[in-house]
Chain A
């Protein structure tokens, strides 16, 4: 097992290199970050050239990648202000030494920028994920036990619709019902449609919870569909197995059969699906966060892509990529641990 884990981790290294190179090349061409830096004061073209030089944007792209990867504190200093004296050494330590660089737009270390927003996204997404899993378990198991019953058909139809719906449709729909119609009907407590808390009240627990309702409702409606269908089909498969028939003919109570014999075995594929989905929570739902103005990783990503801020965007994407790789491994190990028939050589 240890050998398997080590081999998987070694395999992940070239994978992460490929991802980082492709993304870096893409990101380096999305726009001129200097052009978005100007602000109110128009930059002169010689300032622009000096800035490009100081920020290392005039280096060839492979050198920029190398600097991003291993830092530039060892490189020969350049003479950017043309005064005949080379500037001091670069300050980057590089990703491999744990330094993701500094954001060009907010002038803070990337790790700090991400650390500010990450908890917001995790708060929203983990709450949503818990609700989705619990709800999908109930609906999926119920539908499997009462196949083709009225509720099963209703839930199947709803799941198909939810599966086919873009998340912004349900988000706009819920904003309209709860934010607009509730107000018009004179209902006192309409749900807030944007932000994370009322700035007059501050980030108190009830405020944040109140603002989480609509985003979570939207995320849950979409993801719920896939999960509940998956749980339904796994449960159906397990319920047709011989050992379930044996348990039934032994006269075991139905609750024991479902909860102990069936669910335990059905949970294996469910663990896989959930395990592979968990790292994606990091990215947050880009679209949901942007609609509800939730200050999380998704909005952060959109903002910095728009500014051409390579360091932050690379930080976010590499964080997701590493999480995906790690969670794939964790899922495989959990799977082998739950199912003794599986051996990794």
Chain B
């Protein structure tokens, strides 16, 4: 009898226990992200654009993309050249594929540079405050005072010159790609630095930081292991939107002829020549700018959608404009 009382009561296991484990933050974020319909559309669009740029290189070789045939200058789109040919007779379809790889590479790599600088400066300024903070923030403000396009133009001139070609990912491309990545990264970090600084300022006042100090945790560990992980959400959102900004910046600077140099194609420098042919007898040569331009718009649009969805999902406090 007593045994029966002491025996643990076996509660019937319900189906709900099996299928509803507690939601992790990642699960919650995914739930919020999923609700954002445009973000999902953006994801799908972005993946197909990446597949286009990478998968296309199995159809065309880079030599084909750079091969010019002066017999077929400025041909309108046809079965043989679905996107037409450019002003020296290169196939635009093949060039949008290889140009896309470079444009996407520049977008991602420039944001990497931007994030490294922005986080480092924001973290140092926010954590140490005082003199370091005021120096770093003056520099940040100084960069914000000049519109980015002006800085990009001056810096691309500054770094222009004989840059050796670069071999990477099995491709050889103009060294100006690396220069553009650097200058876009160098001119776009101030906003991120301000965000990170503001986060650091508020987080370092928490008790767990006081506890970390009390247990003698070294400063660099407090910054990297205790504060930085708490600022990851706004950094991810800002970096995602930063990729869109970097792709646009590359397009602008290449459009002005100061960006990536031929024969390496990018979506931006493919459009450079097109304005000279608008109003000529070649039907205005709309295919010169329409296809690379559309690819830029679609890429930036989908990244903006994804970034917007991410903001709602992982950084709900901040507000979309």
Chain-A contact segment, one of B124-132, B192-200, B295-303: B295-303
Residues of chain B within 8 A (CB-CB) of A283 are 147, 149-150
Residues of chain A within 8 A (CB-CB) of B268 are 166
Given contacts A30-B154, A160-B305, A301-B153, contact A172 B275 (CB under 8 A): yes
Whether a CB of chain A sits under 8 angstroms from the CB of B4 is no
How long is the Cα–Cα vector from A114 to B293 in the complex, in angstroms? 33
Chain-B contact segment, one of A18-26, A86-94, A246-254: A18-26
Q: Is the CB of B138 within 8 A of A287?
A: no
Q: Is the CB of A30 within 8 A of B158?
A: yes
Residues of chain A within 8 A (CB-CB) of B248 are 164, 166
How long is the Cα–Cα vector from A321 to B301 in the complex, in angstroms? 31
Residues of chain B within 8 A (CB-CB) of A27 are 154
Q: Is the CB of B142 within 8 A of A290?
A: no
Main secondary structure of the interface of A (DSSP, over half): helix
Main secondary structure of the interface of B (DSSP, over half): helix
Q: Is the CB of A233 within 8 A of B279?
A: no
Given contacts A161-B297, A166-B251, contact A325 B145 (CB under 8 A): yes
Residues of chain A within 8 A (CB-CB) of B255 are 166, 168, 287
Residues of chain A within 8 A (CB-CB) of B153 are 286, 301-302, 305
* B contact set with A: CB distance below 8 Å: 38, 138-139, 141-142, 144-147, 149-150, 153-155, 157-158, 160, 244, 248, 251-252, 255-256, 268, 271, 274-275, 278-279, 283-284, 286, 289, 293, 296-297, 300-301, 304-305, 319-321
Cβ contact of B321, chosen from A176, A226, A321, cutoff 8 A? A226
**What are 17 A-B interface contacts by the 8 Å CB criterion?**
A15-B145, A18-B142, A29-B158, A160-B38, A160-B301, A161-B301, A164-B244, A164-B248, A164-B304, A165-B296, A165-B297, A169-B293, A172-B275, A180-B278, A180-B284, A226-B321, A301-B153
Residues of chain A within 8 A (CB-CB) of B256 are 286-287, 290, 302
Q: Is the CB of B284 within 8 A of A317?
A: no
A23-B146, A160-B38 known; 16 new pairs, CB 8 Å cut-off, are A15-B141, A18-B139, A26-B155, A164-B248, A166-B255, A166-B268, A168-B252, A168-B289, A172-B274, A180-B284, A180-B286, A283-B147, A290-B256, A305-B154, A306-B157, A320-B150
Residues of chain A within 8 A (CB-CB) of B283 are 180
Q: Would you give the shortest CB distance from B315 to chain A, in whole angstroms? A: 16
Chain A residues 149-197 with CB under 8 Å of chain B are 160-161, 163-169, 172-173, 175-176, 179-181, 193
Determine the residue in chain A with the shortest Cβ distance to B274: A172
How long is the Cα–Cα vector from A15 to B139 in the complex, in angstroms? 7
Residues of chain A within 8 A (CB-CB) of B274 are 172
Q: Would you give the shortest CB distance from A172 to chain B, in whole angstroms? A: 5
Whether a CB of chain B sits under 8 angstroms from the CB of A142 is no
Most-contacted residue by chain A among B283, B284, B320 (CB, 10 A): B284
Most-contacted residue by chain B among A26, A164, A169, A290 (CB, 10 A): A164
Cβ contact of B286, chosen from A166, A176, A324, cutoff 8 A? A176
Residues of chain B within 8 A (CB-CB) of A280 are 147
Q: Is the CB of A193 within 8 A of B279?
A: yes
Most-contacted residue by chain A among B146, B158, B274, B304 (CB, 10 A): B146
Determine the residue in chain B with the shortest Cβ distance to A234: B321
Q: Is the CB of B300 within 8 A of A19?
A: no
Q: Is the CB of B157 within 8 A of A305?
A: yes
Q: Would you give the shortest CB distance from A241 to chain B, in whole angstroms? A: 15
Whether a CB of chain B sits under 8 angstroms from the CB of A14 is yes
How long is the Cα–Cα vector from A169 to B150 in the complex, in angstroms? 20
Q: Would you give the shortest CB distance from B88 to chain A, in whole angstroms? A: 19
How long is the Cα–Cα vector from A302 to B147 in the complex, in angstroms? 14
Whether a CB of chain B sits under 8 angstroms from the CB of A229 is yes
Most-contacted residue by chain A among B160, B244, B275, B300 (CB, 10 A): B275
Q: Would you give the shortest CB distance from B245 to chain A, in whole angstroms? A: 10
How long is the Cα–Cα vector from A305 to B257 in the complex, in angstroms? 13
Whether a CB of chain B sits under 8 angstroms from the CB of A230 is yes
Residues of chain A within 8 A (CB-CB) of B284 are 176, 179-181
Determine the residue in chain A with the shortest Cβ distance to B250: A166
Chain A residues 104-143 with CB under 8 Å of chain B are none
Q: Is the CB of A30 within 8 A of B157?
A: yes
How long is the Cα–Cα vector from A306 to B157 in the complex, in angstroms? 8
Given contacts A179-B278, A313-B154, contact A233 B320 (CB under 8 A): yes
Given contacts A29-B158, A161-B301, contact A180 B145 (CB under 8 A): no
Determine the residue in chain A with the shortest Cβ distance to B299: A164
Determine the residue in chain A with the shortest Cβ distance to B144: A324
Whether a CB of chain B sits under 8 angstroms from the CB of A203 is no
Whether a CB of chain B sits under 8 angstroms from the CB of A31 is yes
Residues of chain A within 8 A (CB-CB) of B275 are 168, 172, 175, 291
Residues of chain A within 8 A (CB-CB) of B297 are 161, 164-166, 169
How long is the Cα–Cα vector from A23 to B38 in the complex, in angstroms? 41
Q: Which 5 pairs, one residue from A and one from B, show the smallest C-beta to C-beta distance?
A: A30-B157, A180-B284, A164-B300, A164-B301, A169-B293
How long is the Cα–Cα vector from A26 to B160 in the complex, in angstroms? 12
Q: Would you give the shortest CB distance from A169 to chain B, in whole angstroms? A: 4
Cβ contact of A168, chosen from B154, B271, B320, cutoff 8 A? B271
Q: Would you give the shortest CB distance from A10 to chain B, in whole angstroms? A: 13
How long is the Cα–Cα vector from A165 to B320 in the complex, in angstroms? 19
